[in-house]
Copies of this chain bind each other. A is one copy, B any other.
Amino acid sequence: MLTRSATQQLDADDPLAGFRDRFTGDGPGGTWDDGPGRRLYLDGNSLGRLPRATPAALARVVEQEWGRGLVGSWAQWVSQAGRVGDQLAAGVLGARPGEVLVGDSTSVNLYKLLRAGVDARPGRDVLVTCADEFPTDRYLVAGVARERGLQVREVAADIDTGLDPAVLAGALDERVAVVVLSLVAYRSGALLDLAAVTAAARAHGALVLWDLSHAVGSVEVDLSAADLAVGCTYKHLNGGPGAPAFLYVRRELQDSLRQPLQGWFGQRDQFDMGPEYVPADGLDRFAVGTPPVLATAAVEVGAGITAEAGIAAVAAKGRALTDVLVQLLDERVPQVRLASPRDARARGAHVVVEHPQAWQLTQALLDRGVVPDFRTPDRVRFGPAPLYTRFVDLWDAVDRLVDVLATGAHLGYPAERSRVT
């Protein structure tokens, strides 16, 4: 049995322990409350915590660059989306300079690259995705298929262990234009092999458009093996609620792709304001409207912390944290069933369990200061954040879960779900 003091020893040995102080805790003045009644935030994969440096960085951009610099600050701002993109590329995505652009939402970026990918594969009439794919991805695939007269092959995936590469292989052929997949599944946390899947699709001439939302900042991503990707920055990159997303387009593909939202920031000679839209060379052609300057400043801070910690170390701690969580659940909570891959190398930094009263269990945990999230149909998702979740936090969270189940406290909550995030 893993003891509480054993988890404390893991924290003492954790090379990333110092990074916790880069984030705002729940104590006075944003310090960390380490008392027994403290909040145990295990939802960093939904909304990451606030970095301590973010308020001052935002204030600088707001008060100095906007308030004092006014329109003259566009001299810097105009390159911000690419600069922060390059920071992501080098620090957490394994991409090259000029391959990652920050801006718009993940959904808008998915639409742009999906449409660009379809146009780059004329004559092909199939889009492939996975039945367990995140809703916005499935909906966008369905929408683009409808408007372009394409078929969708929705490949079956195990809700617990994710997509089987052999099953995917069976869905690939010369009719497939684009494959849309999450590298880390939003519910189970199942992790795919980016290079192998991309290579399998390429062998049939298809493009893979990766959604990295649950992967970026939690597992090692090597986009040098990828063609197209998008992802969000408000989870493990700690960029803030609704922070601008990013897109990646492999350098060699950029000038052969064209996205349909022909806005002025994607135009070659933007301030000539000429009569005709000519896509900018390279990555800029995937920009659309005026970029979100203030919000991108927060992304820069958040992503910078992960880059500084080193994504290899962050990913290793993510595996260690979820291994400990799985062990604690195995040993102490037989009433729930692990609904994530058991092998840490096969999952991202979150773990899901199945329980018939998952909704009520989530409410009971929230009222006891443990913050997971509910996921349909009957899952409780725990997302420890490698940069600020301690091993002992997992022990204490599981302890509260044990108590809820032992006392039946969750049965006092209505079974009917309310709107959730």
Chain A residues within 8 Å of B, Cβ to Cβ? 24, 26, 30, 41, 43, 46-47, 49-50, 54-55, 58-59, 62-63, 65-68, 70-74, 77-78, 104-108, 111, 131, 134-136, 138-140, 142-144, 147, 232, 234, 240-245, 260-265, 267, 270-277, 288-296, 298, 371, 373, 375-376, 417, 419-421
> A265 vs B49: C-alpha distance in the bound complex, in angstroms?
22
B contact residues around A54 at 8 Å (CB)? 62
B contact residues around A58 at 8 Å (CB)? 58-59, 62, 294
Q: Which B-chain residue is minimally distant from A141 (CB atoms)?
A: B262
Decide if B261 touches A140 in the complex (CB within 8 Å). Answer: yes
> A107 vs B267: C-alpha distance in the bound complex, in angstroms?
12
Min CB–CB distance A153 → chain B (angstroms): 14
Min CB–CB distance A145 → chain B (angstroms): 10
A107-B288, A293-B240, A371-B70 known; A62-B50 Cβ under 8 A: yes
* Set B70, B270, B371: member contacting A49, Cβ < 8 A: B70
B contact residues around A419 at 8 Å (CB)? 78, 270-271
Task: Name 20 A/B residue pairs within 8 A (Cβ), A-sorted.
Answer: A24-B67, A47-B74, A104-B289, A105-B288, A105-B289, A105-B290, A107-B261, A107-B264, A107-B290, A108-B261, A134-B273, A138-B275, A138-B277, A139-B276, A139-B277, A232-B290, A234-B290, A240-B293, A241-B294, A271-B419
Decide if A242 touches B135 in the complex (CB within 8 Å). Answer: no
* Set B105, B108, B240, B273: member contacting A62, Cβ < 8 A: B240
A50-B62, A63-B24, A263-B139 known; A108-B289 Cβ under 8 A: yes
A292-B244, A293-B241, A295-B294 known; A142-B68 Cβ under 8 A: no
* Set B143, B232, B274, B277: member contacting A262, Cβ < 8 A: B143
A273-B376, A295-B292 known; A62-B55 Cβ under 8 A: yes
Q: Which B-chain residue is minimally distant from A104 (CB atoms)?
A: B108
Decide if A242 touches B294 in the complex (CB within 8 Å). Answer: yes
Decide if B261 touches A143 in the complex (CB within 8 Å). Answer: yes
